[in-house]
Amino acid sequence: MRALVLEERLKLSLRDIELPQAVGPRDVKIAIHTVGVCGSDVHYYTHGRIGPFIVEEPMVLGHEASGTVVEIGAEVKGLKVGDRVCMEPGIPDLSSRASKLGLYNVDPSVRFWATPPVHGCLTPFVVFPEAFTFKLPDNVSFAEGAMVEPFAVGMQAASKAKIAPGDTALVIGSGPIGIMVALAALAGGCSRVYISDHSAAKLEIAGRYDGIEPIKLPEQSVGEVIAAGTDGWGVDIVFEAAGARSAYDGIFGFLRPGGAVVLVGMPVEPVAIDIVSAQAKEARIETIFRYANVYDRAIALISSGKVNLKPLVTGVYPFEESIAAFERAASADPHDVKLQILMG
């Protein structure tokens, strides 16, 4: 099948590639409709690696996808041909100790789309387990279905934060994941979410949502804005979603005593954490890696209208222009949040 293939660092091609298409008894075959361009896809394109995951042979990109079921396995019960679906892109070993604990996202043997050496989904058809394929409600579009994956990261962060109704939060970083975290925090019960960044364009997009208050750096001081908005008490939760070393500077100073810091961003280099400042507030530190057991709830929130992801799609490309979509994503246009590729 024709696919978008990362041949090696900085080299993409649209070409035929042989991919498994045998439908097992509990699998479904899906005609891909929409695929989002993720920051990790772009990082593999520009750097050839993310930490220990190194592109050593050609790999099909893409892991944020929606489509239509065109074939089902003999034992599939919950889906039928014609169903519109989205897919949770990591396939764990369901017999592993991590999976049995409900932590299948950190199963060491998980096979995640477009993570070397596993091929992704930027190709017309994929075969995928029914267990990780989710039917889309009629009022959820393919575009929204393809954004369930990044929104699930926000859902995981909000869940780990243990939000109480009325909490206030700060999100550091207004990239796609930062905005998704802010929306999930609001849906989870936060009364107000501050979001800080240097990008005026991205902050303008985030600020269109009721309940999100942008903080433009360096013109505004995060500490001063938080102090003024909380009577000097601090926010209940800080979500670090930038993955930048500078984001950790003074991070516990924004937090109320006993609050939580949730680490979402993945720094490329080691960062320093002020342990004493964390101890002085008895801060709770949480980390997330992808997501687990949140996909169905993410879809339900989108369907309910309580979370609107549509404004975050800032560019759409046909499959034949996939390389151009990646070149645009790699240029890091500050006005872009989410680019998507239409396969049909």
pLDDT in tens, 89-148: 999 999 999 999 999 999 999 999 999 999 999 999 999 999 999 999 999 999 999 999
- What amino acid occupies position 168? T
Q: Are 55 and 6 in contact (CB under 8 A)?
A: yes
CA angle centred on 9, ends 343 and 17, rounded to 5°? 45
The β-bridge partners of 286 are 262
Phi, psi (5° rounding) for residue 113? -50, 135
Nearest to 63 by CA among 132, 14, 10: 132
Q: Which two tokens stand for residue 13?
A: 């091609």
State whether residue 15 is helix, strand or coil: strand
**DSSP states along 128-183:** EEGGGEEEPPTTS-HHHHTTHHHHHHHHHHHHHHT--TT-EEEEE--SHHHHHHHH
Q: Which domains does the chain have, with CATH numbers?
A: 2-147+309-342 (3.90.180.10), 154-287 (3.40.50.720)
- Measured CA to CA, the distance from residue 305 to residue 251 in angstroms comes to 33
Per-residue pLDDT at 268: 79
Per-residue pLDDT at 52: 87
**pTM (two decimals):** 0.96
- Measured CA to CA, the distance from residue 267 to residue 273 in angstroms comes to 12
Q: Are 186 and 213 in contact (CB under 8 A)?
A: no
Per-residue pLDDT at 138: 98
**DSSP symbol at 74:** T
Q: Are 122 and 10 in contact (CB under 8 A)?
A: no
Which residue ranges of the chain lie beneath pLDDT 50? Answer: none
- Measured CA to CA, the distance from residue 142 to residue 305 in angstroms comes to 15
